[in-house]
Structure 1
Amino acid sequence: VMENNSEVVFVLQGLNDSLTNRQMYFAVALMSYLFTIFVNLTLIITVCLERTLHEPIYIFLCSLCFNGICGASSFYPKLLHGLLADSNVITYAGCLAQMFVVYCYVFCELTSLTVMAYDRYLAICKPLQYPMLMPVQRVAQMLLLTWCFSLLEAIIGNILTTRLPLCRRHINQIFCTNWEVVKLSCSDTTGNNIYGFVLIFMHISQTGLILVSYTHLVRASLRLASNRKKFIQTCVPHLVTLLIFASSLMFNSIYSRYGGGTLQVLQNLLAAEFLVVPPLINPIIYGINLHQIRSRIIHNFHKPSSLINTCLHGALSLPVCP
C-alpha cells in the first residue's frame, strides 16, 4: 500500500507508440482541439452579441458549448504534452483535477440536455404560456442549478476517491478517470460503487425525463405543421446531440470495463470519444440546423468589419451571456 497518495505519480500507458507516430497524433490532436475551441467560441460569441438570439434555447446552447470547451480542455492539453514528452506521467493532484473536470463536463452535458428538452417541451407544447413559464429569471435559475448540481456530483466523487489507499500506479488510458483510479486501490471500494449506482439511477431518471418530453413533442408536431417545423429546427439537433453523447459514453464504459486485446489507437479513440466528438460536433449541428445562428455567422464572416463593430457595440452595451 502506498502510504501517501499525494506523492503518487501515475503512469498513463495509453501512449506507447514510436516518436514518429506520436508526432503525427500531436498534429491531429492539436488541429482537433483548436477547431473545437473555434467552433464553440464562434457560436457563443454569435449568440451573445446578437440581440435577436437572446432567447432561452440559445442561452442554454451557449452553456452547452462552454461546457464542451471545458470538457475538451480537460483532455487535450495533457494529451498534447504527453505526446511530445519522453514519458506520459501525471501527479496525483493533476489526476484528481482532470477527473473532476471530466466528470463535471459529463454531468453538466446530460443535465444541460435535460433542461433543453424541457425548454423545447414548453416552447412547442405550451407556446402561449412559454414567455411566462420561461422568463429570464427562470433561465438563470436553471443554468445555476445545472452547473451547481454537476459540480456537486463531481466533488462527491473525488472525495470518495481520495480516501482510497492505492497499491498500483499504472493507468491503462491516456487520461484519468474515476473508475481507473478506483481499480488501483487495494481497499474496500463499496462506497464508490454505491455512489456510482446512485449516479446511474439519477442520470437514467434524467434520460427518462427527456424521453417523456419527446413523447409530448412528437405528438404536438404531428398535430400542427408549425409545431413540426419547430421540432425539426430545434429538437432534431438536440436529439442528435443526445444520441452522440450517449453512444460516446457507452463506448467509454465498455472500453473501461472490457477493453483490451485491440489496437492501442482504437482503444484510445473508444475511451476518449465522449471528450472529443460531442464538443466538436454539437456547435456544428446547431449551427447548421438553426437558421438564425447560421445566417448570423455567415453574415459576420462575409463582413468582418460588421463583426468588429458588433463586438464593440456588444461589449459596451450588451450584458454578457449567462
Structure 2
Amino acid sequence: MQNITSPAELSLTFGVITDLNYLYGTCYTDTGRMENSSDFHPSEMTLTFGDVSEHRILYCTITLLGYIMTVTASTIVVVTIVLHKPLQEPMYVFIAILCVNGLYGSMIFYPSLLINLLYQLHTISYTACLTQVYCLYTYGSFEMTTLTAMAFDRYVCICNPLRYNVIMSLSMVARLISGSWLFSIIIIGINVTLTSRLPLCDSVILKIYCDNWSVVRLSCIDTTVNNIFGLFVAAVYLFFLLFLILSSYISILRVCYKSSAEVISKALQACMPQFITTITFVTDVLFEFFIYRWTPTNLPYEVRMFMSIQPLVTPPLLNPLLYGLKMTEIRLRIFQLLRLKKISSHKGPQNYALLQEEEEEPGASEEEDDEDDGEKEDGEKEKEDSEEQDGEKKKNKVKTDHSSEKSKLLKSDITE
C-alpha cells in the first residue's frame, strides 16, 4: 500500500472522508472525534406523483372543482350561522368551527397540489415541507378535538337536558375549543421540532404531499425518540379522543333505549351527522397510520395515493354538505340567505332539551288560528241572529199593521 506523504494528498483524503461521513449523518471534528450531525438535510424534497402527470389537466380540473366546492359550501354554512342569531347556539357554533377547520385544511392542501400539477413541479423545499407537515397535523388534531367537543355537547344535551343551558354556554364552548387547540399547537410543534433535528439520507417522499412519518423514515440516525413521541400523539388523538366520542354516543343510546320511538328518532337525527363525520375521518387516518408505518410499498401506488388524500378531501367537503342539508334549521336559513325561500317563523330545535317546547309552538299557533276562526264564526252567528231579529220585527210590524187595519174596518162596520 502506497504511503501518503504529501500535505495536499493528506488534505484531499481527509476532505473525501469528511464528505462521506457527513453524507451518512456523521462528521469529524478538529480533534478527530466522530459526532452525529443533526444539521444535514436536503434543500428540496421530491414528491411521488407517479403517472398523475400524464393526465395533469384532468387532475387539475378535478382538484380545482373540489377546492371551489369545499370553499363555497363551508363559507355558506359559516356565514349563515354567523348572520342569524337563532343559530348562535353551542351545537351550531361547533358546526361553524368544523367548517372553518375544513377551510384551513383545504387551503394547506389544494393550492400546493394545483401548482405542482399545473407546472409539473415534483419538488418542495425542505422548509415548506416541514411547514406543510405542521399545518396538516394541526388540521387533523383540530378536527378530532372539535368532534370530541361536539360529542360532549350531545351527551350533555340528551343525558342531562335540565342542566344543558348551564353547562354548555357559549363561554364554555370558547374554553373547550381554545384549550384543545392550544394543546394541539404545542404538541404538534414539539413533534415537528423533533423531526427537524434529524439528518436525512434521502429526499423522496412517498406521497403527493409531506407528512411527518414520510420525513422521519428518511433519517440517517436512530429515530426512537420520534417514534415514541409519534405513538404518544397517535394515542392521544386517535385512540383516547375516539374512546371519549364512542363513550358519549353509547351513553346517548342507553338513554334513548329507555325512551319512546319518537325520542330515539330525534336523537339519531341530531347525532348521526357527527357520527358519520367521525367514523369517516378516523378510518382514513388509521389507514394512513398503519399502512405507511409498516407496509408503505406493498399496496399499489394508486390505492395509496387515493387513501392518503381522503382525510384532506372528504371531511372538508362532507361536513358542510352533511350539516347544511341534513339539519333543517341550517338548510332553511341557507335558503333565506340565498334568497331562494322566505322564512316567516323560526322553527327548529336549538338543542334536544328544548325540542318539546319548540314543538309546542306550532300547536300554540294552531290554537290561535282556531280561536280566530271561532271568533269569526261567532261574529257570523251574531250577524245571522240580528238579521233574524230584524226579520221578525218586520213581520210583527206587518202583522200589527194588518191587525190595526182589521180593527178599523170592524169599527167602521159597527158604526154603520
CA distance, structure 1, for counterparts of residue 149 and residue 270 of structure 2 = 13
Residues 61-117 of structure 1: per-residue CA shift (max 9 Å, x gap): 111111111112211111111102233110111001100110001111111111110
Letter in 2 for 1:155: G
DSSP-derived class of the 1:302 partner: coil
CA distance, structure 2, for counterparts of residue 201 and residue 118 of structure 1 = 19
Q: How many residues align?
A: 305
Structure 2 match to 1:249: 285
| Pair 1:219 & 2:254 matched | yes
Q: TM-score, normalised by structure 1?
A: 0.89
DSSP-derived class of the 1:10 partner: strand
DSSP-derived class of the 2:161 partner: coil
Contact 1:100–1:158 at 8 Å: present in 2 too?
A: yes
Residues 159-200 of structure 1: per-residue CA shift (max 9 Å, x gap): 110111111111121000000000110111111111112112
Deviation at 1:256, TM superposition (A): 1.9
Cα 1:241/1:24, change in 2 over 3 Å? same
Letter in 2 for 1:110: M
Deviation at 1:264, TM superposition (A): 3.4
Deviation at 1:41, TM superposition (A): 0.8
Residues 198-249 of structure 1: per-residue CA shift (max 9 Å, x gap): 1122131111111211111001222234642442222111100011101111
Deviation at 1:285, TM superposition (A): 1.1
Residues 113-170 of structure 1: per-residue CA shift (max 9 Å, x gap): 1111001000111111001111221111011012112211211111110111111111
Of 35-44 and 264-273, deviating more is 264-273
Pick one of 258, 265, 271 that aligns with 1:235.
271
Pick one of 158, 161, 165 that aligns with 1:124.
158
DSSP-derived class of the 1:43 partner: helix
CA distance, structure 2, for counterparts of residue 205 and residue 262 of structure 1 = 29
| Pair 1:14 & 2:27 matched | no
DSSP-derived class of the 1:169 partner: coil
Cα 1:53/1:156, change in 2 over 3 Å? same
Of 83-92 and 118-127, deviating more is 83-92
Cα 1:51/1:148, change in 2 over 3 Å? same
Cα 1:181/1:7, change in 2 over 3 Å? closer
Larger Rg computed on CA atoms: 2
| Pair 1:272 & 2:306 matched | no
Contact 1:15–1:83 at 8 Å: present in 2 too?
A: no
Please list, as runs of the form range in 1=range in 2, the aligned pairs for 1:1-322 lying within 5 A after superposition.
1=23, 4-5=39-40, 8-19=43-54, 21-203=55-237, 204-225=239-260, 227-257=263-293, 258-260=295-297, 262-303=299-340
Letter in 2 for 1:245: F
RMSD, matched Cα: 2.0
CA distance, structure 1, for counterparts of residue 107 and residue 44 of structure 2 = 21
CA distance, structure 1, for counterparts of residue 234 and residue 300 of structure 2 = 29
Contact 2:104–2:139 at 8 Å: present in 1 too?
A: yes
Deviation at 1:263, TM superposition (A): 4.7
CA distance, structure 2, for counterparts of residue 253 and residue 184 of structure 1 = 17
DSSP-derived class of the 1:128 partner: helix
Contact 1:6–1:93 at 8 Å: present in 2 too?
A: no
CA distance, structure 1, for counterparts of residue 167 and residue 53 of structure 2 = 57
Deviation at 1:18, TM superposition (A): 4.2
DSSP-derived class of the 1:129 partner: helix
Cα 1:5/1:68, change in 2 over 3 Å? farther
CA distance, structure 1, for counterparts of residue 243 and residue 251 of structure 2 = 13
Q: Percent identity?
A: 34
CA distance, structure 1, for counterparts of residue 290 and residue 158 of structure 2 = 36
Q: TM-score, normalised by structure 2?
A: 0.70
Alignment gaps of 5+ in structure 1 = 308-322
CA distance, structure 2, for counterparts of residue 39 and residue 209 of structure 1 = 29
Contact 2:116–2:122 at 8 Å: present in 1 too?
A: yes
Deviation at 1:254, TM superposition (A): 4.2
CA distance, structure 2, for counterparts of residue 25 and residue 5 of structure 1 = 35
Structure 1 match to 2:394: none
DSSP-derived class of the 1:170 partner: coil
Contact 1:251–1:273 at 8 Å: present in 2 too?
A: no
Which protein has greater RCO, CA pairs closer than 8 Å, 6+ apart?
Answer: 1
Cα 1:53/1:24, change in 2 over 3 Å? same
Contact 2:42–2:200 at 8 Å: present in 1 too?
A: no
Deviation at 1:57, TM superposition (A): 0.9
CA distance, structure 2, for counterparts of residue 229 and residue 53 of structure 1 = 22
Deviation at 1:11, TM superposition (A): 0.7
Contact 2:53–2:120 at 8 Å: present in 1 too?
A: no
Of 52-61 and 148-157, deviating more is 148-157
Contact 2:42–2:203 at 8 Å: present in 1 too?
A: no
